[in-house]
Every structure is written in structure tokens, then in C-alpha cells.
Amino acid sequence: MRPFEYYKIRTVSQGLSLLTRHQDKAALLAGGSDILGRMKDRLEGPKLRPAQHLIDITGIKEMQTITEQKNVLRIGATTTLSEIATSPLIAGRWGLLSQAAGQVAVPQIRNVGTLGGNLCQKPRCWYFRGRLFKDCFRKGGGNCYAPGGENQYHAIFPADNCCMVCPSDMATALTALGASVEIATPKGKKLIPIEQFYLRPEKNPLRETVLGPTEMVLSVVIPAPVPGSKGIYLKLKEREAFDFAITSVAAIVTLKEDLVLVARIVLGGVGPAPLRATGAEAALKGKKLREGLVTACAAAVKGARPLGGNGYKVKATKGIMEKALTSLA
């Protein structure tokens, strides 16, 4: 690990001041399960350098809360995944989020891993993480190694220049819940829908999110569930513990007399960002869940472009989505 300066701060303003001073040379530290691993591995590339200034934000108390305010749920960015998974408030009305948090990694990681860290983590692509692949597109190079290499865990809805998948379980669940991300900037706070939070690789190869070098995630705001709605989060992984999603689905449906009024279905582990399955949502609307199930599952993977080694993900995605909708039915 290369030398770095460490800062322990207590306020958001202190964090913004340090980010403004050090820009791209700075990084935020909370649970550390991603950033410390990247620093120890000396993850570098043509335009990717390890952090020289590490800003510990775990002392900011306002970012560690779970509160219900004016019929919305607000969760601070440094709230741990264990706290989310075990919160009675979240389990009572936003159970889908509890399910997602409880399936991240293992208890030891959930005890330190935070909501903000899970949303902002870097890709887990082994070409991006590997030292031998310095020309990786995500490192600022000009090549994606996945199409011609080992790609069994890569995207089936890839970008033209990158086959990474978004590794965040919480992002998939929060997209289904219609959440927004509260961001602190030197000019004040702003709230953006989580569907606008992630950047596709073709738009910016070096950034996964819209966060600028002087900005930080404060919290996530989630609207109250619509009466008559119910949701589920299911994740398929190679091992029962620790693994990232091969594919996952977060589904919420609002029913009236057994007919689907509204559906929100989001797929994880299949593309560079959580993927709204709008075709599947449309296929369910106005039908009983079981009646629209087959058509919806087919619509969810329409347009998939699997690579040589991950075609199984198409069938797996249809299968886990069928299981989710059957459970809701």
C-alpha cells in the first residue's frame, strides 16, 4: 500500500473542504471493504491513481441515522448494512430493502459495510482489479478484455466498450423502491433519483456515478410504499455467502382485486447499472400476476447480448424473476 494522509472528521463541511482541497487525490473512508482493498492491491491505470488523502467520515453522526420523516424513509450514508437488515422500521414497510441488505456478503462485512459504500463501490471485474490489465477501459485505457476472455460473471446487457456489472445489491433494491440520493456539494445539497445516479461507461469510463470530486453522498430518501403494494428481492449467487449477484431481481407490484395496477421490476448483476425491466412491467399491467408471468419473464431479457461464457445468465434471470413473481402471487 502506498503512503497516504489520514483525516478523521466530524462534520460534512469538513469533508467537503478536504475534498475541495485535494479533489481526485482524495477518497472517503467508511467501512473500507472496497477502498482499502483497492489501495492494498495498488489498483492503477493510465488515468487511475490510488488515493493520497483518506477522509474518514464515520464520525459524522448525521449520516448514521434511520428515520421516518413526512412519510418518507431517510437512511444516512454511513448506516451499516447490518443496521438496515435488522431495523424493525425498515422491515415493517420497506421489507424489500431489508432483504437486500441481509444478502450482501457475510455478517462480518455487513457489520462494517455502509449504505453509501455499497452504492459507490468500484466494479468487481477481474480485469479492472487485475494488475496485468493496465489498458482496461475502466482504468482509462482503450480495451475491454471480457469479450475475448473469461466472462462468465460479466454483463448480458453490456455497454459497447465495457462489460462490467454494477455490484451493488442496495442499488437494485433502491431503484425498485423509487429512492433518491441526497448529495452534499460545496454549493449546498441536492436530491437526485437513483436511476440518474449511475453513469454508463460510454458516458464516462472512469466514474460509476454522477458524484464529482468535491461531492459526497449524505443519505438515501425512500418514499412510503403505495397501499396495496408488496415487494421482494431475490439474488442468485454461486455460493450461499459472500458472493456478488450472478443475477438478482427487485420487484414491487401494486394489486387491486388480484390485477396488477403498477409494477416496478429491476434487474441486478446483468449490466453496468441496475436495469429497469420496463417491458416486463408493461407485460404485467392489468393482468393477474400468474397470467402475465411468462410474457413478463421473456420481456425482461429481451435485447440481451450475452458473451461467450455467460449465456446461462439469460436463463438464470428469467428463472429468478419467475420465482419472485410467483412468490408475490
Q: Regarding beta strands 188-193 and 180-185, do their DSSP bridges make them parallel or antiparallel, or are they unpaired?
A: antiparallel
Contacts of residue 271, Cβ cutoff 8 Å, sequence gap at least 6: 155, 156, 157, 158, 159, 165, 166
**What pTM, to 2 d.p., does this model score?**
0.97
Residue 50, pLDDT score: 84
Cβ atoms of 221 and 71 within 8 Å: the answer is: no
Residue 124, pLDDT score: 94
Cα–Cα nearest to 319, from 303, 292, 296: 296
Contacts of residue 297, Cβ cutoff 8 Å, sequence gap at least 6: 280, 318, 321, 322, 325
- Give the pLDDT of the chain (329 residues) as one tens digit per residue: 889 999 999 999 999 999 999 999 999 999 999 999 999 888 888 888 889 999 999 999 999 999 998 889 999 999 999 999 999 999 999 999 999 999 999 999 999 999 999 999 999 999 999 989 999 999 999 999 999 999 999 999 999 999 999 999 999 999 999 999 999 999 999 999 999 999 999 999 899 999 999 999 999 999 999 999 999 999 999 987 778 999 999 999 999 999 999 999 999 999 999 999 999 999 999 999 999 999 999 999 999 999 999 999 999 999 999 999 999 99
Q: Which residues make beta-bridge pairs with 188?
A: 185
Residue 188, pLDDT score: 97
Q: Where are the domains of the chain?
A: 61-329
The DSSP line for 267-323 is EESSSSS-EE-HHHHHHHTTS-HHHHHHHHHHHHTTT----TT-THHHHHHHHHHHH
272 to 20, 136, 156, 261, 328: CA distances (angstroms): 28, 15, 10, 29, 27
Contacts of residue 298, Cβ cutoff 8 Å, sequence gap at least 6: 318
* CATH class (in words) of the domain with range 61-329: alpha beta
